[in-house]
């Protein structure tokens, strides 16, 4: 309720001023332009990954990732002995997010294509591959599939960029890219 009522209680029925029509037109045209730029950039900008998403049972997905890790583990790292997994080129690779880690560590070959499967075991997490510009939201009960072809060798960090609780700042992972 206003302190003083408007002069005309049906103000929305008044005709628009020319300046208002001008600003509405500019805003509408700018919105159309930005929509067109987003479509163009998705197709030609190599900015956004085209990916797939499937419904999945978190327990089944967890078992799939554990079997994958067990099959291709080459060593372990850290105090908690996180497995470093080296799958064959061209294969499907799996990683899961859970409080507060990305598991397992992947070791991929440079210039080879892989299909990366991602899912969360508990909350929504953000998958951000640093220093590249790969950024995805990872949800429980959904499996994201992204095609990757690493073109540079080195160590890449995986960071959760969606707040997921008190240990969010410690939710890190790794992907190594090696020359054959």
pLDDT digits (tens, 9 = 90+) for 20-53: 999 999 999 999 999 999 888 878 876 556 678 9
Query: 108 and 39, same structural domain?
Result: no
The domain that holds 56 is classified in CATH as 2.60.40.420
Residue 73: its pLDDT value, please? 95
For the chain, state the CA radius of gyration. 24
- Helix, strand, or coil (residue 91): coil
Residue at 36 is within a domain: yes
* C-alpha dist (Å) from residue 29 to 23, 35, 36, 54: 10, 10, 11, 36
For residue 3, is pLDDT > 60?
A: yes
Residue 38: its pLDDT value, please? 87
Q: Per the structure, how many domains does the chain have? A: 2
Domain extent for 113: 51-178
Residue 13: its pLDDT value, please? 85
Q: What is the pLDDT of residues 70-116, one digit of tens each?
A: 999 999 998 889 999 999 999 999 999 998 899 999 999 999 999 99
Residue at 1 is within a domain: no
In sign, the C-alpha dihedral spanning 21, 24, 25, 26 is positive
Residue at 104 is within a domain: yes
Residue at 161 is within a domain: yes
Q: What is the pLDDT of residues 159-174, one digit of tens each?
A: 999 998 899 999 999 9
Q: Give the separation between CA 112 and CA 61, rounded to whole angstroms.
A: 24
Query: 71 and 34, same structural domain?
Result: no
In the chain, at which residue ranges do the beta strands (DSSP E only) sit? 51-55, 73-77, 82-85, 92-98, 101-103, 105-109, 114-120, 125-130, 134-138, 142-148, 154-159, 172-178
At 131, is the pLDDT very low, low, confident or very high (cuts 50, 70, 90)? Answer: confident
Beta bridge partners of 76: 83
Residue 7: its pLDDT value, please? 80
Q: Is the peptide bond before 121 cis (omega within 30 degrees of 0)?
A: no
Q: What is the pLDDT of residues 145-161, one digit of tens each?
A: 998 899 999 999 999 99
* C-alpha dist (Å) from residue 123 to 100, 162, 170: 10, 10, 15
Residue 71: its pLDDT value, please? 96
At 6, is the pLDDT very low, low, confident or very high (cuts 50, 70, 90)? Answer: confident
Residue 9, classified by CB atoms within 10 Å of its CB into exposed (0-12), middle (13-18) or buried (19+), is exposed
For residue 125, is pLDDT > 90?
A: yes
Residue 46: its pLDDT value, please? 63
DSSP secondary structure letters along 55-80: E--HHHHHHHHHHHHHHHEEEEETTT
């Amino acid at each position: 309720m206003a302190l003083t009522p408007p002069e005309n209680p049906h103000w929305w029925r008044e005709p628009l001023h020319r300046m208002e029509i001008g600003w509405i037109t500019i805003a509408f045209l700018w919105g159309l332009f930005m929509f067109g730029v987003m479509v163009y950039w998705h197709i030609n900008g190599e900015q956004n990954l085209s990916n797939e998403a499937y419904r999945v049972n978190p327990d089944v997905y967890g078992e799939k990732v554990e079997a994958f890790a067990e099959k291709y583990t080459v060593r372990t790292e850290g105090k908690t002995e996180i497995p470093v997994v080296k799958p064959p080129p061209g294969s499907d690779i799996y990683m899961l997010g859970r409080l507060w880690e990305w598991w397992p560590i992947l070791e991929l070959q440079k210039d080879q294509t892989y299909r990366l499967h991602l899912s969360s075991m508990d909350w929504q997490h953000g998958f951000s591959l640093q220093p590249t510009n790969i950024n995805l939201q990872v949800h429980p009960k959904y499996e994201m599939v992204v095609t990757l072809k690493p073109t540079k060798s080195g160590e890449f960090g995986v960071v959760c960029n969606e707040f997921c609780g008190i240990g969010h700042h410690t939710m890190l992972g790794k992907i190594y890219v090696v020359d054959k």
